[in-house]
Structure 1
Amino acid sequence: MGEVFNKKTKEFNTEVNFKKAQYFFIKKNWDSTLVYSMKQLSLSKNKELADYCHYFRGYSFRELKLLKEAKYELNLISKKFILYQLVNYKLGAISLELKEFEKAILFFQKTESVYINEDKECKLSSIYANLGTCYLHLNKFKIAEFYLFKSIKIQKTESDTLPLINSYFNIANLYYVQYKDQKAMPYFEKAYSLSKKIKDFDKKRQASKNMSVVEENRGNFKQALVYRKESEQWKDSLNNQNKVWALADYEKKYAVAQKQKQILVLKVENKLKETQRKTMFFSTLGLLLLLSGGIYAYAQKVKNAKIIFTQKVKLDQLNATKDQLFSIVSHDLRSSVNALKTSNTKLTTSLETKNYDQLDQLLHQNSAIANGAYNLLDNLLHWALLQTKQLYFHKDSVHLFSIVQQIEYNYKPLLLDKSITFENTISKNSFIFVDLDSLKIVLRNLLDNAIKFSPENSKISFYTIETNTNFCQLVIQDCGLGMTQNTINELLQDSELLAKKKNSEIIGTGLGMQLCKQMIKKNSGSLTIESELNKGTKMILSFPKTEQNG
C-alpha cells in the first residue's frame, strides 16, 4: 500500500494538500490527515485523488473510533479505486465493531471473492478469522468453526503470533458457549502458551484470566487463584478497588476449598441469615405495599375531589346562566306583555272615539311588540335545544339569493314601518353548504338587529364578496347606531354565558347573538364585525361553498 501512495505522490506532485495528507497518514497522525484530506477534497475535482482522500479519512476515523463517520467516508469511494479490496475489508471490520454481523459477512465475502495478497492489513487468514467471528456472534457455530480452523491453518505458517492467539480464543469460546468445556480447554491452554511469547499485555491478561476460569470450573481453586493474580499484574493499575475485591474473592474460594470441615457450619449460618433476610424482605415489602396503597388511595381521593370541584364550578356557571336567562327573558316578556296591555287599552279608547289614525298606529305598534316577543321565544326555544344537543343539523346545498329573498318578505312590514330600503345584491350563482333552518335563524336575527338599530329612511344591504377560497362571504350592512371596538370584542367573545343586560332597551337580551354565533360555528362558518359609532355596522359571515360551485 505504501508503494501505491508513493507513486501517486510523485504523479500528483503539485497537489500540496494531498502530499501532506499522505505524509501524516503514513505517520499515523490521524487529525492532521483529516484536515489536509478535507482541504484537498474542497479544492480539487480530481475523482482519483478524491478516492484516496476518502480512504485516508475513513481509515483515520476508524482509528479514532468514529465508526459511523468512517463508514460514511469509505462508502464514497468508487469501485474503480485501486485499493477497493481494502475498502470492502475495512467496511467489514467496521460493521463487525458496530455489531452489524450480517453486513460484515457480506463485505468479507466480497473481499474473499476478489482476494489479491497485496497488503499485510488484508490477509486471507484475517478474512477467515473475521468471518468466523461474525458467525460465532450469530450462533452459527458450524460455519464459525469452519472459518476459524481455516484461519488457524494459515496463521500457523505466518510470523505474527497475535492473530493466532485471537483465533484460539474464538475457537475456545465457540465450544465454551456450547457447554463443550473439554473441547474448549485445550485452546485456552494453547492461547495462554503463545501469550508468553508476545509483548501485548492485554492478550497476556486475557489469556491468564481465561485460564483462571478454566481451573475454577475444574474445581482447582488454588491454580485458578495463581492465574487470577497473574491476570491482575498485567492491568494498568494494581490499586483499582475492583481488582482488590476480585482477588479477595478468589482467595476466599481457595480458603474454603482448604477448610472443608467448616462448610456445614457455614451452610447452616447462611440458611439462618437467608431466613432472616427473607423475613425482613417480606416485612419491608408488606409495609411498602401498604404505604403504596395508602398513597394511591389518597391520590385517588384528591383526584376525585378535583373532578367534583371542577364539576361544581361548571354547574355553578350553568345555574348562573339559567338564572340570568330567566331574569332577562322574564323581564323582556313582562315588558312586552305590559306594552301590549297598555296598547290594547289605548286601542279600545281609539275604537270608542273612532280615532282611526291613532288606531292604525296602535295596530302597527302591537304588531311590532308581538313580533319582538315571538322572536324572543323562538330564539329561547332554539337556544335551549342547542344547549341540550336536541337541535338536528342537516347540511345541504343552499341558494343564498333565494333565502335572503324569503327573509326580506318576512320582514317587509317592519321595513315599511321605518321606511327602510332593503337591497339584495347577492350573486345568483352563490351556493353554500349549510343547514337551511339554522341559516334562516341567523339571518332573521341579524336583519332584526339591523332594523332595530337603523334610523327611518335608511338602507340595509345584503351582498357577497367574491374570493378565491372555498368560502363565501355574506355581508349585512346597515346605516344605524354602530358600536365601539369594546362592544364588538364582547359580542365576539367565545362564551357560553349570555351577555349582561344593559340599561338601554335597545341592547336587548343578547340571546339572539349568542344563538347566531353557535349556529354559525355549527355550520363551519365564521363571523366578523366592522363598525363605527353613528356610521353603521357590517356583519360579515363566512360559510363553506358547495363543492361544485366552489
Structure 2
Amino acid sequence: MKHLNVSKAFYNTNLDSAEIYANKAIEYSEKNNFYKGLGYGYSNLGIIYEYRGEYAQSILNNEKSKEFFIKGNLTKGIAISNQYLGIGYFYLSEYEKSLTYYFEALKSYEKLDFKEGIAGVNNNIGAVYEYRKDFPAALKFYNKSYLLKKELQINSSSSLNNIANVYCEQGDFEKGLEYFLKSEKEKSKFNNSSGKASLYTNISGCYIGLSEFSKAKNYILKAIKIDTTRNNLYGYSYDLQVYGDLENARNNKQLALNKYLKAYEIAKSKDYLDLQINCTSKISDLYLSLGDHEKAFQFQNESLQIKDKVHFQENKEAIANLNVVYETEKKTQEIALLSQENKLKDVTIERNRAVRLALILGSFLLLLSLFLLYNRFQLKAKTNQILNTKNKELKELNATKDKLFSIVAHDLKNPVSAFKTLTENMSKGFDKIPQNMLLKLISQLRDSSTQLYDVLTNLLIWSNSQRNNIKVDKIKVIPKILVDEIIGMYQINSSSKSIKITNKIDTELELIADKEILHTAFRNIIMNAIKFSPENGSIEIYKKENSIIIEDNGIGMSEKDINKLFDITKDVASIGDSAEKGTGLGLLLCKELLDKANIKIKVESALEKGTKVILIF
C-alpha cells in the first residue's frame, strides 16, 4: 500500500511518477495475489489517465480495478470503480451510462453508510443533470452533497459553488449570490485558495445582475489580481469580459468596449474559442448600440466563423468519442470472451475433454458469439444514428450560412447598389436635373433606404435570435395601435401601388404578449403583403376567434410553396411570379420569434386567390 500512497501524492505534480508507483503496486500485488492492492493499483491508473484526458484508457483500467474488487468481495472498492467509470463516460458524453455507474456506486456507499462517498457521488450526479439542463434534479443532488459535507464538517465550498451556478443559469442572481458568498466563507474557514479567482468573478457577475456596481467592481478587481499574479490568461480574459459587462451595465460604453477588446485579444492569442465567441458577440452588440454598424457586422461575422470552427471540432470530437466508446466496449467484450475460453480449457482438462461437456460449452460459446455480434450490430446502428443526426445539424448550419450569404448578396446588395447609382447620377450636374426627375430620384433613394433599413433590422434581430439573446417580456399590448403604426411606416410603399390597407382590429382588444416580437412579426407580414399584392390591390387585418389575420388579394402560392416558407434549407426565391423577390428571412424570423413567445403562425393561400397569414394566440 506504500506505493499506492506515493502514487496518489504525485497526482497534482507529476503524473508520470504517479503512474510508475501505481505499476509498482500492481506488480507487487500480482506476486502476492493481493486483490485489494490490484484493485487500487488499477484504480490509480484510471485516475491518472482521466487527468491526462485519455478517458478510454481510464475506463479500461477502472474496469480491471472493478474485476479485482469483485474477486476480493470489496464493496467499497467496487463503489469507487463504479464512480470513476461514471466520470469517464461523463467526459465521453455518454450520460446515461454515466448515471448508471454513479447510481451503482451510490447504492454501494449507502450500504456501507460511507457518507463522504455518498456526498461525492451526489455531486457527480448533480453535474450530469446540470449539463442536461435538468435544474431541479441538479439542485436536489447538489443539496444532498452539501448537507452531508456540512454534517461531516468537511469543506463544502465546491457543492455551494455548484448550487450557486444552477441558480445563476436560471437568472436568479440573488439566490446565486447567497450561495457564492457561503462558498467564499467555506473556503476561508478551511484555508482553501483553490478556485478563488473564479469564485470572485462569479460573485461580481451576480452583483452586476443585481445592479450593485461598486461591490461588483470590488470583486472583479480581486479576481484580476489573483489571475494576473498566477499568469492565468484564460481566467484574466474571462475577468475582463465580466469587467466589460460591469461598465456596460453602468452605461460606460467606451470603457466596456476597451475591456471587451482586451479580453478578445488575449483569447484570440491563446485560441480560447469559447471566450472568443462571447467577446465577439458582446463587442458586436456594443458597436451596434454605439451606431457603428460596420464594426458591429464585422464582429458578428467573426463570431459566426468561430462558431462554425467550434461546431466542426465538436462533431470531430463526437465521432472520435464514439470510436473510443466502441473500442472500449469491444475490449471489454474481448476480455469477457477470453475469460470464457480460459474457463473452457480448465473444465476440459479436469473432465478429460468429455465430449458431452465439450458440446455444451461449444453451444454456449456459439450463443455468446451471437450475442456479441448482436451487441456490435446494435452499437454500430446507434453510431450511424448519431452520425446522421450530426449530419442533419451540419446541413442546417450550412443552410443558415448560405441564407446569410444570400441575404448579403441579394437584399443588401440591391439597395446599396441603387444608392450608389442614384447618388452618382445626382452628383453629375445636380443643378441641371429637372424638378420632377429630382423628386423621382429622391423617392427612389427613400425606397432604397427603407428596404436597407428593414433588411439590417431583420439581420440584427435574427443574429440575436440565433445566439438566444432574445428575451420574451410579456406586457399588455393593444394590437390595433401596433398595426396602425406599421401601416403608417409603409404608407408610401402602399400608396405607390394604390393598395388599400384596412385595419379592422377593435381598439378594445388587448393581448398579453411581447410587444417587440409582435411589432417585428406584423411589420414583416404587412410588408410581404404589400410586396406581393398587385396594383389597386387590398389588404385587410382583422380578428377572428383567437387569431389575428392579415389577408391580401395578391398572387398567392401553391401548397408546395407554402411548405417552403419556414424551412431554412429551402430556396424561396422560386415562389410566385412577382418581380419582387426575397430571401425569406422575414418569415423565418417571424416564426422563430413567435415560437419563443408561444404564438403560432399559419399560412393559407392559393394561386391567384391571395394569401392569409394567421397569428394564433
Which band: TM-score by shorter chain? 0.3 to 0.5
TM-score under structure 1 length normalisation: 0.44
Higher relative contact order by CA 8 Å / sep ≥ 6: 1 or 2? 1
TM-score under structure 2 length normalisation: 0.40
| Greater share of residues in helix | 2
